[in-house]
Amino acid sequence: MPLDLIFNQYKLLTELEYKAVKASGPGGQHVNKTSTKILLSWNLKNSVVFDDEQKELLRTRLASRLNSRGVLQLNCSESRSQVNNKQLATSRFFALIEEALIPEKERKATRPSRAVKQKRLDTKKKQSAKKANRRKPDID
């Protein structure tokens, strides 16, 4: 991992906000008395780690995950341990950010090959013959 990426991760860690709440679901009395579920929130608009271009890329790629105020929220309640849930939520956050920052590859325009065209036409002819055989015969 490049050194600047590690440095940015440490900066990002200071921008993250964690909140521990009581988890729901199975777990018996443990669930009722301990706050193990972690809610991670990160404000994209107020982030100082990314420049405006990167913020716009993140805004478009993470549009379905951001709320109206531009805050990304993740929650984790997989483990019975608050520390494990915090680590899981943080690693998911970093994976999400890294994936969103990967630039999209440009599509190279290609044409279908002759074999593909022929296969398509053959399939159409076969389907047409199948439908024609289902019709009532013309007795005129």
pTM of the model: 0.71
Where exactly are the structural domains of the chain?
3-101
Residue 5: its pLDDT value, please?
Answer: 60
What pLDDT does 23 receive? 82
CA distance 59 to 45: 9
User: CATH top-level class for 3-101?
Assistant: alpha beta
Query: Mean pLDDT for each 10-residue chunk of the chain (140 residues)?
Result: 64 90 77 86 90 90 91 90 93 92 90 96 97 85
E-state strands within 13-66: 17-21, 37-43
